[in-house]
Structure 1
Amino acid sequence: MNSSRRTQLGALLAAALWLSGCATPARQLPPEAAFWAGRIAVQIQSQPAQSLSAAFELQGSATQGELQLLSPIGSTLAQLNWTPENAKLSQGAHQWSGTSLDELTTRLTGTPLPMAALFDWLAGQATAPAGWQVDLSQWAKGRIQAERQSPAPAVQLKLVLER
């Protein structure tokens, strides 16, 4: 093999290795994991009042999943991943890890969200964790509303699912 050919092969190998290092790792969720997308709004009746509204993509289950909050132009505002062993929240350059999904949803939204119940609500089951009430009367139209009165402050959660 001549020197020029070896140089070309070496460059090709280097480029392939460099590109493989840039590849995004495959998601850890099984391919049959449930998936939902739409809009989410969280209002917290604190002093001062807090609110969050974003597009979302949610997949997985209460034990293992991923939640992405997206801006109106589709850029990722935050990403929350969880498994039975741990949870991770990424917001821009900031990352937090822990074993408590409540802790990370509080950091993300200002209040702990009932993620296990949320998956039940998406399936049309009116599970009511402590302090929460859910309204699934518009579930068939892709609308879910839930409220928490206690502990204070009161929280309203609204989901509008894409068709």
Structure 2
Amino acid sequence: PDYLIRSWHVSVNDIFDFNDGHDKIEVKSTAKPNRIHHFSNEQLHPNDGSGLVICSIMMTKAGQGLSVFDLKVAIEERIENENRFRLNELFAKTLGTDYNKAMETFFDYQSASDSFKIFNYSSVPAIDNDTLPSGISNLHYDSDLSGIEEAQAFYLSEHELFKGL
């Protein structure tokens, strides 16, 4: 968890949620009934030599359950003291103006945990950069990850960043 905290959004404008300077993790959640996530084309085309996995979570709102604040507390219990300030700073920046709304939103944690899947980016439907016409940029689209094979454990264990998953 500490390694992940140090790799989490070094800059607010980072393309990937976690980046240790070599490998990347992009986390996507959806409340839709299908495993459909929104990506920028850049998020599915890492630089050569980098590993990239997509973490997918299907969320269900619940009258009772856990809020993002409950999750933050659970993370704080698992990390070193020096990383708690960074966690709280990034947490506040990530929520921004939705901070108060997040206090009133609860999710079915067990359902989300059961739905958690990790995919190698190369398995995710994406637009090939070689087919983009010249002058096209800032391309975003939805990709359906339903039925895609999950990343293999041996692949994940080869990368320091992925060991935290």
TM over 0.5: no
Bigger proportion of residues as helix:
2
Answer with 1 or 2: which has the greater Rg. Answer: 1
Where relative contact order (Cα < 8 A, 6+ residues apart) is larger, the structure is 2
Question: TM-score w.r.t. structure 1 length?
Answer: 0.23
Bigger proportion of residues as strand:
1
